[in-house]
Amino acid sequence: MTGTPTGATDQGTHSTVHGVVLAAGTSSRYGDSNKLLEEVDGEPLVRHAVRTLSASSVDGVTVVVGYEAARVREAVPDLGADIRVNRAFEAGQSTSVAAGVAATRERGDDAVVFALGDMPDVAVQSVETLLRAYRRGDGDALAAAYDGTRGNPVLFDRRFFDALTTIDGDVGGREILLNDPDAAMIETGDPGVLRDIDRPTDLDGRNTDR
């Protein structure tokens, strides 16, 4: 769905949105290395996602870590983000989503935007586009899109927090984004919202130190 859903209401410019980077996974498809620590354009992959959210106008950033938590934490010590350890990370991405929702609830924010730690090419402006869409009432569950294809980051209003904490396995909020009447894809014009790093070959052609 694109555009303004029927049930959407204007959130207003006062709405606060917390930024969460999901960075707890085991990188099982990548091989023996932790892909989040692979050098991409001279820096660990995870730093790119954290920097993007930190440079946007979100109201604070939390990085959810799990697998090799200490090493991932050490990759982002200077970017102003809080760290939350998900000790249940092996149960799937849903546990990290729940941890991110908990951090957002503790702050009392109105919504959460989730970014993935393995997506280094998302533009700051794409995050801003999502925030503006939410605040003008384009929907309560929003996904960044490029050329009509749904990608990441994704944003959820607080009314979905309970649902997000009851999902299981390696599913984030996909069911909400696909089926809720107040869900929408927000066109960003940014191919980076579709580009993640799953395997070493995904880094071919980039300036890396692999």
Pairing label, strands 111-116, 61-65? unpaired
Q: How far apart are CA 208 and CA 38, in angstroms?
A: 8
**Is the confidence at residue 170, as pLDDT, over 90?**
no
Q: What is the largest CA-CA distance in the chain?
A: 49
Instruction: Tell whether the model's pLDDT for residue 208 goes beyond 50.
Output: no
pLDDT tens-digit profile of 22-70?
Answer: 999 987 777 678 999 999 989 999 999 999 999 999 999 999 999 999 9
pTM for this prediction: 0.90
Spans of all domains in the chain = 17-195
> Which residues, at least 6 apart from 197, have a Cβ–Cβ distance to it below 8 Å?
30, 35, 38, 40, 45, 118, 119, 120, 203
Which of the listed CATH numbers 1.10.260.40, 1.10.10.10, 3.20.20.150, 3.90.550.10 matches domain 17-195?
3.90.550.10
Query: Is residue 12 pLDDT above 70, yes or no?
Result: no
Is the per-residue pLDDT at 107 higher than 80?
A: yes
